[in-house]
Chain A
Amino acid sequence: MQAKIHEIISRYGSDKGFLVPILQDVQKELNYLPEDALVMVSTFLEIPVSRIFEVATFYKAFSLTPRGKHLLSLCLGTACHVRGAPLISGHIERALGISAGETSPDLEFTFETVNCLGACALGPVIVVDGEYHGQLTIAKTNTILRDLGRKVPSDEEA
């Protein structure tokens, strides 16, 4: 891990001004920002770890806990909201048994809501592991969840 972090930091010429992009790259590499990584960044850049913690908790893009194997990002932009995204959000929360922003205990799923994906013609829209699914309905959401190997609430009886 140390070598990787060192390599990322040297990409930016050890410039303290690039703390945010450095943390973005570290997270991309490690899937989240473990405490050890933050300490290493602090040592390499000579920035107090408290400052790094401040930045890592300020920006939404950073996660201090491990993220799931599958990432589901549901758009809650205004256009998606007025087209019924909150109902979809509630449905996914019930199906996965976690709230938005959480990761399932088996580290299979992370479900997050995002502000706007800028694909408003497709709203409500979700990105599942990098793939867009648009004009979501509860039925379509069920198909997506089943494809990920998850039973959906209405499957129980069937």
Chain B
Amino acid sequence: MKKLKSPGELAALQEEIRTGRDPKKPCITICAGTGCLAYGTQKIIDCFRQEIEKQQLEARVEFRTSGCHGFCERGPMVVIHPQKIFYQRIKAEDVPEIITRTVLAGEVIDRLSYVDPATKQKIVYEHDVPFYKRQTRYVLGMNGEIDPASIDDYLAIGGYSGLAKALSGMKPEAVIEEVKKANLRGRGGGGFPTGWKWDATRKAQGEPKYVICNADEGDPGAYMDRSLLEGNPHLVLEGMIIGAYAIGSSQGYIYVRNEYPLAVHNVTVALDKAREAGLLGDNILGSGFSFDITINRGGGAFVCGESSALFASIEGRSGEPRAKYVHATDQGLYNKPTTLNNVETWGNVPLIINRGADWYSSIGTANSKGTKIFSLVGKINNTGLVEVPMGITLREIIYEIGGGIPKGRKFKAVQTGGPSGGCIPEQHLDIPVDFDELTKIGSMMGSGGMIVMDDRNCMVDVAKYFLKFLEEESCGKCTPCREGIVQMRIILDRICEGQGKEEDIDTLEWMGQAIKDGSLCALGGSAPNPVLTTIKYFRHEYEAHIKDKKCPAGVCKSLITYAVDAEKCTGCHACARVCPTQAATGEKKQAHVIDTAKCIKCGACFEACKFDAVVVK
């Protein structure tokens, strides 16, 4: 590609790409995000390529591998343009038929269409799928339009126009002012106003100044940053370049989990293409402004998502946080002024510059503007990534977008904010989701993980799960976090084993508060949250474990027994076949029994029984 030397040349190239494309030409877009690839999408991609070649359709049909579309539950999926016909759970065998009947003849293949479980109606077009219909996909929606490896695709939808606008008509201070006016807040969890961070870094003494993209997405159950980075890397780069211009930075870093190989690859390709086009490197678009970006792969430590630990990791040290009486905006990476923003935050910047702060701040609530991407996972019918305006209720997300709880079971709680967040019960499902409201009820926005749990999930077990996670991930530098979390976990272990004491709940509460007050960084400072919120909203479950020695959800092994309901048992022998300890026995066609002395409570019989005859007591 020719190096672009001015914003005018960029606009001309965008126009050239657009006019060179026929909007009526059939285009097959297949989701090739990590989630869909895990379903085996690569085989389907290969089939499409072979079939297009076989039928000699290269000139008539476009084929595009895009990033994550968001509806992970129904992958592998394709969208056929220009009609936007949506097919889901497709297999390699379906490929020839899709090409012949749909792409060439315009027919809809009924069996591949999505059926709305609520109305039992077939849904032909992507935009009519309820999962998408209720969303506002300004940031994530672009994923389906572009091949992340193609800068042309991004330019065709107006990519880098925000950068051109900033460089040609706006002083750096004006860019900052716009971001401040839009009231963009950090999407990584903290919710700190982005414009203020930029302003402080710009005004700080010291050179060089750094901008960093935090893609160390460590919260289990959250993968929106990965999907954005791997699906639309240029959007994130554009945001970073605009930010660097506003701050006066010449060097940027993307700190990304090494567990995200596709994101690393796609960003590497995007960086090369952006450099080649003159959008990155020396004298960007002939403006005199120079800036470049380096990728750093993380080493697999949750704490490195914390800013000061992340700096230490980029500097080649172990990722231990430090006390933050000096802000990163003054002394961050290599003790120089640094702005660290999360992937999604950077991804919002081009929108704000392009469409203006007034437009942006018209979306959302009083103090939380724009949209937020959540990863809706766990016991939910429609697992996937959802982008919604701030202020939507949890109930709308879970029931209208998520399609409710599988197998008709009862909702128990939704966990937001990752290991630092909290579990929200049914009574709070109607609060508007924004930074402040979630904090008020003891949870937090966090990076956007939203894990739904049903009546078969034990809240004490979930609290223990998070503490165990944080115990392993605590860097060990400060005592309240390193020792406190372990002690809390030991108490929870005891409760789950039926050895809980009356005073344990009180002890957990005051210890939790002490750890929150005494820890150095946000990891320890928020670690007790899952325990404290589950005690607040599900105290009766703790009490059932401690006083009655029962696990109401049937999860904690020491407090449950497996038994066979003789009336339901058909004597099919399935339980006996899978039992690893020969605890489940019986004659064929006779009711079976489980010998509790031999049973190791592995759950194999429960899973194997097709007649619900194995019960947990």
A and B interact physically: yes
**Chain A residues engaging chain B, CB cutoff 8 angstroms:** 16-21, 23-24, 47, 51, 54-55, 58-62, 76-79, 81-84, 87, 90-91, 94, 114-123, 125, 132, 134, 137-139, 152-154, 157-158
Chain B residues contacting A60 (CB-CB under 8 Å) are 299-301
A-B contact pairs, 30 of them (CB 8 A): A17-B315, A18-B316, A20-B299, A20-B313, A20-B316, A24-B297, A24-B299, A47-B316, A54-B318, A58-B299, A58-B318, A59-B299, A77-B220, A78-B378, A78-B449, A78-B451, A114-B259, A118-B35, A118-B217, A118-B222, A118-B223, A118-B226, A119-B223, A120-B35, A120-B377, A121-B72, A122-B35, A132-B37, A138-B602, A139-B578
Chain B residues contacting A122 (CB-CB under 8 Å) are 35, 38-39
Chain B residues contacting A78 (CB-CB under 8 Å) are 220-221, 377-378, 415, 449, 451, 462, 465-466
Contact across chains for A55 and B314 when beta carbons are under 8 A apart: no
Our pick among B218, B299, B314, B607 for the contact of A137 (Cβ within 8 Å) is B607
Contact across chains for B318 and A55 when beta carbons are under 8 A apart: yes
A77-B220, A115-B469, A121-B73 are contacts. A87–B603 as well, Cβ < 8 Å? yes
Contact across chains for B379 and A82 when beta carbons are under 8 A apart: yes
Which chain B residues in 27-50 approach chain A with CB under 8 Å? 34-35, 37-40
Chain B residues contacting A125 (CB-CB under 8 Å) are 38
Chain B residues contacting A82 (CB-CB under 8 Å) are 378-379, 451, 453, 457, 462
Contact across chains for A94 and B462 when beta carbons are under 8 A apart: no
State the Cβ distance, B32 to closest chain A Cβ, in Å: 13
A-side binding surface: helix, strand, loop or mixed?
helix
State the Cβ distance, B598 to closest chain A Cβ, in Å: 13
Contact across chains for A87 and B318 when beta carbons are under 8 A apart: no
State the Cβ distance, A39 to closest chain B Cβ, in Å: 17
State the Cβ distance, A156 to closest chain B Cβ, in Å: 8
Chain A residues contacting B72 (CB-CB under 8 Å) are 119-121
Chain A residues contacting B37 (CB-CB under 8 Å) are 132
Chain B residues contacting A116 (CB-CB under 8 Å) are 218-223
Give the B interface residue count (CB, 8 A): 61
In the complex the two chains form, what is the Cα distance from A55 to B296 in whole Å?
A: 15
Task: Indicate if B258 sits at the interface (CB-CB under 8 A).
Answer: yes
A18-B316, A79-B378 are contacts. A121–B35 as well, Cβ < 8 Å? yes
In the complex the two chains form, what is the Cα distance from A132 to B313 in whole Å?
A: 29
Closest to B304 in A: A59
In the complex the two chains form, what is the Cα distance from A132 to B223 in whole Å?
A: 17
In the complex the two chains form, what is the Cα distance from A77 to B450 in whole Å?
A: 12
Task: Indicate if B384 sits at the interface (CB-CB under 8 A).
Answer: yes
- Knowing that A23-B299, A51-B317, A121-B73 touch, tell me 17 more A-B residue pairs with CB under 8 angstroms: A16-B316, A21-B296, A76-B220, A79-B220, A79-B383, A83-B379, A91-B602, A117-B38, A118-B35, A118-B222, A121-B384, A122-B39, A125-B38, A138-B608, A153-B581, A154-B579, A154-B604
In the complex the two chains form, what is the Cα distance from A117 to B38 in whole Å?
A: 10
**Chain B residues engaging chain A, CB cutoff 8 angstroms:** 34-35, 37-40, 72-73, 75, 217-223, 226, 258-260, 296-302, 313-319, 375, 377-379, 383-384, 415, 449, 451, 453, 457, 462, 465-466, 469, 475, 577-582, 602-604, 607-608
In the complex the two chains form, what is the Cα distance from A44 to B259 in whole Å?
A: 27
A115-B218, A121-B383 are contacts. A154–B318 as well, Cβ < 8 Å? no
Chain A residues contacting B603 (CB-CB under 8 Å) are 84, 87, 138
Chain A residues contacting B38 (CB-CB under 8 Å) are 117, 119, 122, 125, 132, 134
Closest to A157 in B: B582
Closest to B574 in A: A139
Contact across chains for A94 and B580 when beta carbons are under 8 A apart: yes
Contact across chains for A120 and B602 when beta carbons are under 8 A apart: no
In the complex the two chains form, what is the Cα distance from A118 to B469 in whole Å?
A: 16
Chain B residues contacting A76 (CB-CB under 8 Å) are 220
Our pick among B40, B466, B577 for the contact of A158 (Cβ within 8 Å) is B577
Contact across chains for B465 and A81 when beta carbons are under 8 A apart: yes
State the Cβ distance, A95 to closest chain B Cβ, in Å: 8
Closest to A91 in B: B602
Rank and list the top 9 A-B pairs by shortest CB-CB distance, nearest first: A59-B299, A118-B223, A153-B580, A77-B220, A58-B318, A120-B377, A132-B38, A19-B316, A121-B72
In the complex the two chains form, what is the Cα distance from A90 to B37 in whole Å?
A: 27
In the complex the two chains form, what is the Cα distance from A61 to B39 in whole Å?
A: 25
Chain B residues contacting A23 (CB-CB under 8 Å) are 299
A77-B221, A139-B578, A154-B604 are contacts. A134–B39 as well, Cβ < 8 Å? yes
Chain A residues contacting B217 (CB-CB under 8 Å) are 118
Contact across chains for A59 and B578 when beta carbons are under 8 A apart: no
Contact across chains for B319 and A58 when beta carbons are under 8 A apart: yes
Chain B residues contacting A139 (CB-CB under 8 Å) are 578, 607-608
Contact across chains for A115 and B302 when beta carbons are under 8 A apart: yes
In the complex the two chains form, what is the Cα distance from A54 to B476 in whole Å?
A: 13
Chain A residues contacting B296 (CB-CB under 8 Å) are 20-21
Contact across chains for B602 and A87 when beta carbons are under 8 A apart: yes
Chain A residues contacting B579 (CB-CB under 8 Å) are 154
Contact across chains for B35 and A119 when beta carbons are under 8 A apart: yes
Contact across chains for B220 and A20 when beta carbons are under 8 A apart: no
Select the residue from A76, A114, A121 with max chain B CB neighbours within 10 A: A121
In the complex the two chains form, what is the Cα distance from A38 to B37 in whole Å?
A: 35
In the complex the two chains form, what is the Cα distance from A18 to B300 in whole Å?
A: 15
Closest to A94 in B: B580
Contact across chains for A154 and B316 when beta carbons are under 8 A apart: no
In the complex the two chains form, what is the Cα distance from A79 to B462 in whole Å?
A: 11
In the complex the two chains form, what is the Cα distance from A158 to B577 in whole Å?
A: 8
State the Cβ distance, A14 to closest chain B Cβ, in Å: 12
Closest to A113 in B: B472
Contact across chains for A79 and B377 when beta carbons are under 8 A apart: yes
In the complex the two chains form, what is the Cα distance from A20 to B309 in whole Å?
A: 13
State the Cβ distance, A88 to closest chain B Cβ, in Å: 9
Contact across chains for A154 and B73 when beta carbons are under 8 A apart: no
Chain A residues contacting B299 (CB-CB under 8 Å) are 20, 23-24, 55, 58-62
State the Cβ distance, A118 to closest chain B Cβ, in Å: 3
Closest to A116 in B: B220
